[in-house]
Chain A
């Protein structure tokens, strides 16, 4: 392990996280879309001069755990680091250049001191729309990535401090909400400069060379902490599987088979036996798959971490090429989040065989991403994007939490009043869903029900849902959580919609209702504490007898 003054290490490590936090605050305070400023669908991180992720602001694990993979890919195949100049900003949203799906724009800014590259700042933002076949980017009928929207290879959107206006105009011309996109993008660029400034000051203070050594040590320490936590786990080979409902095209659920091998202070996860690549957009690239595995391993290991790429070193991930979890170009990927969640829950289920006392039953299993392409009577257009979540699985020592972000997702909800102030939606209900938590000694947390009336002239509803059929699993004899649901109520008539819905036409007065899954239960329901049962009844968490 590299030797650095332990005091300096601790001081600089805090300063690096602060730089990531400063970027995060800047995005939060200055962005324009509800997706970014309310849902907080963005992340920020710091890399050393060689492109290694050394600090993160704690936000979305799905973003954080894939940023380094993306940078590696850019540097190896597109823009060698030595070609990056002071004042440049490199950006891409290409799933086949290290990204995950098109709405996520990953921007990097190299930071220089006295002509030498000392660090790289990174801000990833989920933008509200990227053009393509469906508003919000969730085109359920896409069979190629080309149908999912504008695909930007790694390019310099800013060169030596000058915004490339032609390129920027081209992007704006191809998205549905150019003004919102522009505002969020300016916020992204500004945050990179805020981070760069903090990193320059830090390097000037402690020396650029010192920063490089500290980077080594931070990664080594994170690796050592991870190895020591993994070493404490029982060696063995543990297999588990979980499922997604399907790709919205072919019949039949898709399988994610995870084989976890714990050997000494390292783990490997192999996905042989998983379903082949799907025709529809539920595929995951390796960036998504690794990101989900890293999340599951860090969570199961129990280490306390602020996170950096050193944590990933003892983790090996392998998956058959052309499979659901390692899709090959040009497979569509916009709904990769729902497969990613089930990759994480499959790996956690395998860990439950090794350390059952630590692992809860499955959480809700999928982030309910949805969007409406709105056309007002006066011709004005809007894109409403939102995400909903459900209940946590019962834990060996506690009931699952109701309606709380889980897994490698971590967003806020959008306040109803904020939505109504901006979009032509009027909410009828936002509530816990009784009986949705899986029964068990420890009950699964409840899913949510969300119901709104559409009041504009015309809208097209898109949904990237799952876990309608493949319910969140219970553990140790606990029941699975209730599955999800999407329906439209028009003049009192209920029409059930598919989990993957594209372009369902909405008219004024329609009510859209979505129900998110509850978590699975843990342990046999017969062993539940009678006092807990009585309290569940009194509060109506459990209504059925």
Chain B
């Protein structure tokens, strides 16, 4: 008999493991939360799955699909809990990994900042060979040198080895030969080659990314094996997928070979969810912001699609693989407000973090934070913080604000607090503005979507600062990432780097590259066993004016691989360059540098969730809040009890589990059918206040 088909997404966070599941037949969706089990996160994962099965009445046999966002790779890098590794590179270039790119960010600092060395000099080995810039062999791979270097790696005690040769992206032959020799001598050693991990020009970035990948292979492999063993032991037969930094899902096997692609797995869940919520509410252009205790992450969704970049950074290390584009600044609830020696007010980037945390947490914090200021101004409720489980010290917060900010500036307490908030608003708005600036986009054309614990207190003010007209608050911020992960599709990114001048007559060269990629992508999706209707192949070209170092990614369709199509592509590039950088240069030639393919296997849509049809019967309550320039009495409502179609005019305080939203005067909030909240600036509402 046909059973149900339940799709499950799990997001493992520091404190909670969040699960979201979907009944594919009915479109019904549920969320579930269990504590994270740091000693082995797969325990928490299975606890969540079995817990949800019990709660929502399905069996493990009904589970059709399990997808999972993981911070296992990220945490291993941040804590440097990585195995000992070795590097094989072209002789004479063993130190490129240590030399890096020279530039420093703190230009007046005299004491060297501690540097991250992923592999010490004693385990970096040079091999005699040389590939030229066009892939030609300048010096053949010397067999004696190969034998000697392979012995050295085997004897070094390394558990992982990166193979990254100069110009290895242009011709993989030597890297492949080295891998074969090394694998034969040292079976079980994790080996990663640069032509596979990051086949692009610039040796330091490619070597460093490959090294990181190699070091993460044993970490992720161990994790994946434990996870699969546990899943199988408990009788779960559904295929397992992991979410990558680009927001696409991949198989555990592929993830274990390319673990560096998991580094933004966690945050990409939030961006996927933002994409989904934006789409169901009909907002194509959205800035998603995630404000937590210490940081503020900004991601851009344009035309319904998340922005992806080719290179990012983790903890000062370059990571050159496709990932959701995210700008992070050090601003959150824990950011400290202080005066410098000259008496200037600053908010952040210093943070009180989780320990000691804000003054009001009563754990020894003495400097006022953004959270303290929100409390002083009644924007946070001392009584109902985290559902009332955690009492906040309002007096302590007031005293700290008085002593550290108000008195030295000669301001009264409310003015000082409002000033701190204005600075925070400006900093958050500045981060969004710069993210959009880099794409030549205008904030006024975007809606703001706020998720993360501290965002709801600031979102509308940030939108106001930027002239944005709408602010979206998703219905379930506390399981938002899991919700996003549930929407992920399988994505294989493939690229070919070959410089082609886009002059008339170039179409055959471009078409030949495209054909290779399209065939490769089709084969990958075939191997995934997806039906033809669920497959999509999306091409894009990285283009630049001749001589530039950076390319702009311009989409191209399979039908455009002729001369007319290339002419249209050139026009799109000129226009995009003008939009981004305020000028174009039609006298200059355009070069194609990389052709990219995303092979996408769509895993099927899901129904939109629904808000309750009738409201709760809790008595209305209100409290004094400093909002829109002064103290006002604002009604306090529970988001979960607001039926679809509800319209609220500011001022209002809306509480969600773990977070609070503020609606200032002049703004109107509507509850969408899905239960998401959409605030808009309303001239009419302004008059009623």
Cβ–Cβ contact A430 & B202, under 8 A: no
Counting chain B CB atoms within 10 Å of each CB, the highest count among A7, A221, A223, A392 belongs to A7
Q: How far is the CB of B497 from chain A (nearest CB, A)?
A: 11
Interface window among A241-249, A282-290, A415-423: A415-423
Q: For the complex, is B581 an interface residue (Cβ under 8 Å from A)?
A: yes
Q: How far is the CB of A141 from chain B (nearest CB, A)?
A: 30
Interface string of B113-143 (1 = CB under 8 A from A): 0010000111000000010110000100000
- Please indicate the chain B residues that have their CB under 8 angstroms from the CB of A228 in the complex: 341-342
- Please indicate the chain A residues that have their CB under 8 angstroms from the CB of B110 in the complex: 299-300, 348, 358-360, 395
A30 CA to B585 CA, complexed, in Å:
10
Q: For the complex, is B203 an interface residue (Cβ under 8 Å from A)?
A: yes
B-contacting residues, A150-167, CB 8 Å: none
Cβ–Cβ contact B104 & A404, under 8 A: yes
Cβ–Cβ contact A539 & B545, under 8 A: no
Give which listed residue, A10, A222, A398, contacts B346 with CB less than 8 A.
A10
- Please indicate the chain A residues that have their CB under 8 angstroms from the CB of B1 in the complex: none
Cβ–Cβ contact A401 & B112, under 8 A: yes
Interface string of B403-435 (1 = CB under 8 A from A): 000000100000000111011001100100110
A398 CA to B94 CA, complexed, in Å:
24
Q: How far is the CB of B584 from chain A (nearest CB, A)?
A: 10
- Please indicate the chain A residues that have their CB under 8 angstroms from the CB of B437 in the complex: 22, 25
Q: For the complex, is A295 an interface residue (Cβ under 8 Å from B)?
A: yes
Q: For the complex, is A432 an interface residue (Cβ under 8 Å from B)?
A: yes
A488 CA to B110 CA, complexed, in Å:
35
Cβ–Cβ contact A410 & B202, under 8 A: no
Q: Contacts A32-B547, A32-B548, A194-B581 known; A418 to B201 CB distance under 8 Å?
A: yes
Cβ–Cβ contact B121 & A540, under 8 A: yes
Q: Contacts A305-B108, A401-B112, A404-B102 known; A9 to B345 CB distance under 8 Å?
A: yes
Q: For the complex, is A78 an interface residue (Cβ under 8 Å from B)?
A: no
Interface string of B585-607 (1 = CB under 8 A from A): 10010000000000000000000
Q: For the complex, is B519 an interface residue (Cβ under 8 Å from A)?
A: no
- Please indicate the chain B residues that have their CB under 8 angstroms from the CB of A29 in the complex: 548-550, 580-581
Q: How far is the CB of B241 from chain A (nearest CB, A)?
A: 35
- Please indicate the chain A residues that have their CB under 8 angstroms from the CB of B98 in the complex: 402-403, 432
Q: For the complex, is B222 an interface residue (Cβ under 8 Å from A)?
A: no
Give which listed residue, A31, A229, A448, contacts B548 with CB less than 8 A.
A31
- Please indicate the chain B residues that have their CB under 8 angstroms from the CB of A14 in the complex: 426-427, 430
B-contacting residues, A1-53, CB 8 Å: 1, 5-7, 9-11, 14-15, 18, 21-22, 25-26, 28-34, 37-38, 40
Q: For the complex, is A520 an interface residue (Cβ under 8 Å from B)?
A: no
A-contacting residues, B570-588, CB 8 Å: 577, 580-583, 585, 588
A428 CA to B93 CA, complexed, in Å:
8
Q: Contacts A25-B438, A221-B342, A415-B203 known; A430 to B96 CB distance under 8 Å?
A: yes
- Please indicate the chain B residues that have their CB under 8 angstroms from the CB of A469 in the complex: none
Q: For the complex, is B167 an interface residue (Cβ under 8 Å from A)?
A: yes
Counting chain B CB atoms within 10 Å of each CB, the highest count among A18, A223, A305, A420 belongs to A420
Cβ–Cβ contact A400 & B342, under 8 A: no
Cβ–Cβ contact A224 & B342, under 8 A: yes
Q: Contacts A37-B548, A415-B203 known; A18 to B430 CB distance under 8 Å?
A: yes
Give which listed residue, B107, B346, B426, B550, contacts A37 with CB less than 8 A.
B550
Cβ–Cβ contact B95 & A431, under 8 A: yes
Summarize B's interface: helix, strand, loop or mixed.
Answer: loop
Cβ–Cβ contact A431 & B341, under 8 A: no
Q: How far is the CB of B189 from chain A (nearest CB, A)?
A: 22
Cβ–Cβ contact B344 & A417, under 8 A: no
Q: For the complex, is B55 an interface residue (Cβ under 8 Å from A)?
A: no
Total interface residues on B, CB under 8 Å, equals: 70
Total interface residues on A, CB under 8 Å, equals: 92
Q: How far is the CB of B11 from chain A (nearest CB, A)?
A: 33
- Please indicate the chain A residues that have their CB under 8 angstroms from the CB of B341 in the complex: 224-225, 228-229, 303
A22 CA to B439 CA, complexed, in Å:
11
- Please indicate the chain A residues that have their CB under 8 angstroms from the CB of B577 in the complex: 30
- Please indicate the chain A residues that have their CB under 8 angstroms from the CB of B100 in the complex: 403-404
Interface string of B69-110 (1 = CB under 8 A from A): 000000000000000000000001111101111111111111
Q: For the complex, is B654 an interface residue (Cβ under 8 Å from A)?
A: no
Q: For the complex, is A397 an interface residue (Cβ under 8 Å from B)?
A: yes
Cβ–Cβ contact B342 & A225, under 8 A: yes
10 smallest A-B Cβ distances: which pairs? A32-B547, A224-B342, A37-B549, A429-B92, A7-B419, A539-B121, A11-B426, A401-B112, A225-B342, A420-B133
A-B contact pairs, 17 of them (CB 8 A): A29-B581, A32-B545, A37-B550, A61-B107, A61-B108, A224-B342, A299-B110, A305-B108, A359-B110, A395-B110, A402-B99, A403-B99, A410-B103, A412-B103, A413-B99, A430-B99, A432-B99
Chain B residues close to A by CB (< 8 Å): 92-96, 98-112, 115, 120-122, 130, 132-133, 138, 166-167, 169, 201-205, 340-347, 409, 418-420, 422-423, 426-427, 430, 433-434, 437-438, 545-550, 577, 580-583, 585, 588
Chain A residues close to B by CB (< 8 Å): 1, 5-7, 9-11, 14-15, 18, 21-22, 25-26, 28-34, 37-38, 40, 58-61, 179-180, 183, 186, 189-190, 193-194, 197, 220-225, 228-229, 295, 298-300, 303-305, 348, 358-360, 389, 392, 395, 397-405, 410-413, 415-418, 420-421, 426-432, 445, 448, 451, 538-541
Known A-B contacts: A6-B419, A418-B201, A432-B99. Give 9 more (CB < 8 A).
A30-B548, A32-B548, A194-B581, A225-B341, A228-B342, A298-B108, A299-B109, A404-B100, A412-B102
